[in-house]
Chain A
Amino acid sequence: MRADIVEAGEFPDLAERYNVYAVPKIVINDTVEFVGAQPEAQFVRYVAQAGGLQEAPPADE
C-alpha cells in the first residue's frame, strides 16, 4: 500500500487529471474516487473495491 498526500494547488496538472474541485478528494488505484472524510467502514469499502475484493466485509454501521 502506498499513500500520497498531494497539494492540489501546487500540481494543477494532477488536479485537472483527477478532476479535483473539492478537497479532500481521495483516488484509489485511479479507479475508485470519493470526496470528503469518510468513516472507517466506508473508507474500507472503497479500498476493498479498488483492491479487487469481490465483496467488502460486513462493516459496523
Chain B
Amino acid sequence: MHGAKGKHVSRREFIRLAAVAAASGPFFSFPQRALASQKTLRIAKWAHFLPEYDSWFEKELASQWGEKNDTRVIVDHIPVERVHADAAAEVASGKGHDLFMFPWPPAEFHRHAIDHTEIYQNVSFKYGSIPQISYKSTFSPRTKTHFAFADFWVPSPVHYFEDSWAEAGMPLGPGTYDSLHSGGQRIRAKLGIPCGLALTPTLEGNISLNTLLYAFRAQILDAHGNVALGTNAFTTNALNFVKSLNQDAGTSDELTWGPSGNVHAMLAHKISCTMNSISLLRAAEKENPALAKKIRLQPPLLGPYGVTAFPHATNCSSIWSFADNKEGAKQFLVDLIDSSSTGYEKSQSCNFPAYPKTVPNLIVRLDRDSQSDPPHKYNTLKDALHWTPNLGAPWLANPAWMEAFNSFVIPRMFASVIQSNLSAQDAAAAAQREVTAIVEKWKQIQSPVSKG
C-alpha cells in the first residue's frame, strides 16, 4: 500500500508542480500585485440630497458594476458646495478622478472633458435620441461636442403647508408670485409664519432666485448668448418684487441660511412655503410623518413668463480628458442608464430620468406613491419636464452662464437690494457689468487665437 509519506514523486510531476507554484506563487505571497492588474475607476460624485441614494449608488450600483467589469470602483461623495472648487482643483492639477458627476452643467470645465457624443450615441440605440434637457445642458456649439452626459435631473416644485395657506384662503397653494406675496403677507400677519424662499448664495438660493428672475421674464443671457441681464425693467421688477416679498411676507432668516437652510426651516414649520427638490418632503416623511402630511407640492409659481423653474439639480457626468480610465468611465455611463429606473426608486422620485423610456411608468408611480399621504401628492410633478428649462435657458448652459451661476451673481444682486445696499437699478447694472466681464472673458478664452 502506498502511504503519503512513501509516495514517490516523479521528476515530470515535480516539474509540473513547480511550474504551477511558480505561476501562482506571487499571488499568494503578494495579493496587492494581483489587484494592481485590476482596472480602477475613480468617481467623484456630488452628494445627493438623499443619503440613501448615495448609499445605493456606491454599495450596489458601482460595486456590482465593478465586479462585472473587473474594475475597482472608488466613489467619493462631495458636498454640493464643494463641487466647483474640487473640480477646479483637479483641472488645475491635471489629475484626480476619472469621472466627475456634477449637480449642474459643468460648462466651465468643457475644455478639460472628453467629447461625450459617443455615449449619447450608444445610449440612443436603446433609449432614443438625446433628450432636450440633456442636449441643452451639455452641448457646446463652439466645438460641436458634448462636454458631459446628463442622465437625470431633479425638479424644483413649490412646497407649502396646506393648513397655513388655507388660513389665507389658498389651500391649493399660492399659485402665482402675486398670491405668494398677498397670501404670504396674510399668513405672517395671522399666524406669525413667514414664507421662506432661499435667498443666499447656496444651491437652493441660486435655483430659487434664478427661477424667479426667469419667471419675471428677465434673462442672464438671451437666446443668442448676449448679455440680457439688466437691459430692461424685467430684472428690476424681479428685484423689487423680492424685496417687497421679503419685507411684507418673509423673514430676515432668508438672508442668513446656509445650505439647506430653507429645508430645515420647513421641517421645523418656521416658514409656510419654499422652493426645493422633493428631498425636503421625503425628509419630512421620514422624520415627521404628521408634519409631512401637511406639506403639499405645487408646480412652480406662475410669473409673467409663465410656470417655470430651473432644475434643482441636473446630473451631468464629465469624463476628464486627463482621466486614467476613460474607456471604463464611458462604459460606466452607458450602463448607468440601465439603472435609471432603480435610481429613480432609490432617490425616492427625486431623480427624473432624462430618457423617459427608462422609467416608462413614471406617472403611475407618481400617482400612487407608497410613502406619501395622500398617495397622489407627487402627481403634481408629472408635468415637471414641461415646466423645467435647462440651466442657461433660453439658450444653452454655456461657460459664461454657468460661471455667473457658480459665482452667485444673481443671489448677490438680490441680496444687495433686499438689504438696501443698492437700488434695484444699480444692483441690476452692477450685475450686468459682472456678467459682461464674464462673457468677455470666455470670448477671449474661446477665441481661435487663444491657446486656452
Genuine A/B complex: no
Give B residues with C-beta under 8 Å from A.
none
A interface residues (Cβ-Cβ under 8 A, vs B): none
